[in-house]
């Protein structure tokens, strides 16, 4: 078996794990276990949310060192699950190199169904509006906001706009639509529309992962993700607040 090729695949798995929203301890432990499975020595892994480095000693005694950067992180829970299974199989030595390559290629080349994501935006916006006490017209407006937000966020992501500015702009959009609908007497319960739709922007993953990182003892990563979560929550509030202030007198 070609060691360097195996290590290349292992690095790729680590990068994908980071990209699709795994906790830091999971990335470190997965890499370590896979390398142990192949019998490498002196394995040291260090990871932070956008970067990891792996160093070890090959079977013939030469040192090996690699690092990967993963900038555009995007949660994809399906892939997280598949990668988790793949890591377990590799650590138990159940797969050959070719099989590993095929599975990784399959994960990487998989096409997303964007229509389902759009449906997700519309449905959860409408339903969380009902959750916060909205009636039929409010749900309708929320669904519309969900639809607009999906395309708005998609556009901003294509333009690679900073995530904080993106959140502020998106929350401004949702607040302005809700307030205008309220002012034109189309809806009566503006609160349910705004709270329901801002659920789409809440940084749930950042919060969960930061806590789980801190439990795992990775305070650097945990804190950086917690700051991310706090900043995003603040930007939601700022965006909504700005539009409330601007449209107050209209």
Contact segment (CB under 8 A) with other proteins among 19-27, 52-60, 93-101, 181-189 equals 19-27
Q: How many CA atoms lie within 13 A of 171 on its CB side?
A: 26
d(CA 45, CA 54): 5
Among 29, 205, 224, 231, binds other proteins (CB under 8 A): 205
Burial level of 177, CB count in 10 A (0-12/13-18/19+)?
Answer: buried
Among 145, 209, 221, 228, binds other proteins (CB under 8 A): 209
Contact segment (CB under 8 A) with other proteins among 21-29, 45-53, 63-71, 93-101 equals 21-29
Q: Does 16 bind other proteins (CB under 8 A)?
A: no
Show the binding pattern over residues 88-117: x = contacts other proteins (CB under 8 A), - = does not. Answer: x-----------------------xx--xx
Q: How many CA atoms lie within 13 A of 165 on its CB side?
A: 6
The angle at the Cα of 99, spanning 97 to 101, to the nearest 5 degrees, equals 70
Cβ 5 to other proteins shortest distance, Å: 27
Among 45, 58, 80, 231, binds other proteins (CB under 8 A): 80
Among 1, 4, 245, 250, binds other proteins (CB under 8 A): 245
CA distances from 149 to 123, 126, 163, 201 (A): 12, 13, 14, 10
Q: Does 159 bind other proteins (CB under 8 A)?
A: no
d(CA 33, CA 83): 13
**Residues 25-44 interacting with other proteins (rule: CB under 8 A):** 26
40 in Cβ contact with 58 (< 8 Å): yes
Residue nearer to other proteins on the CB measure, 59 or 135? 135
146 in Cβ contact with 200 (< 8 Å): yes
Among 5, 92, 220, 241, binds other proteins (CB under 8 A): 241
Q: Does 224 bind other proteins (CB under 8 A)?
A: no
| Closest C-alpha to 109, from 12, 7, 36, 199 | 12
182 in Cβ contact with 205 (< 8 Å): no
Among 18, 22, 100, 187, binds other proteins (CB under 8 A): 22
Element housing 47 (H / E): strand 41-48
Cβ 64 to other proteins shortest distance, Å: 28
Q: Which residues bind other proteins (CB under 8 A)?
A: 21-23, 26, 75-81, 84-85, 88, 112-113, 116-117, 119-125, 127-128, 130-132, 191, 194-196, 198-200, 202, 204-205, 207-209, 211-212, 214-215, 233, 236-237, 240-241, 244-245, 248
């Amino acid at each position: 078996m070609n060691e360097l090729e195996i290590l290349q695949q292992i690095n790729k798995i680590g990068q994908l794990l980071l990209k699709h929203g795994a906790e830091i301890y999971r990335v470190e432990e997965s890499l370590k276990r896979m390398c142990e499975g192949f019998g490498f020595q002196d394995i040291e892994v260090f990871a932070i949310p956008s970067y990891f480095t792996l160093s070890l000693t090959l079977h013939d005694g030469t040192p090996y060192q690699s690092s990967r950067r993963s900038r555009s992180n995007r949660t994809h829970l399906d892939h997280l699950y598949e990668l988790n299974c793949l890591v377990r199989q590799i650590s138990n030595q159940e797969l050959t190199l070719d099989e590993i390559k095929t599975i990784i290629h399959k994960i990487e080349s998989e096409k997303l169904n964007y229509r389902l994501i759009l449906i997700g935006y519309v449905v959860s916006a409408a339903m969380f509006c009902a959750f916060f006490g909205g009636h039929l017209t409010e749900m309708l407006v929320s669904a519309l906001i969900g639809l607009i937000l999906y395309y708005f966020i998609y556009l901003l992501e294509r333009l690679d706009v900073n995530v904080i500015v993106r959140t502020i702009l998106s929350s401004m959009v949702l607040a302005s639509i809700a307030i205008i609908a309220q002012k034109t007497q189309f809806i009566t319960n503006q609160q349910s529309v705004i709270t329901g739709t801002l659920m789409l922007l809440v940084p749930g993953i950042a919060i969960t992962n930061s806590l789980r990182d801190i439990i795992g003892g990775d305070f650097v990563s945990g804190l950086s993700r917690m700051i991310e979560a706090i900043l995003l929550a603040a930007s939601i509030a700022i965006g909504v607040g700005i539009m409330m202030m601007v449209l107050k007198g209209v």
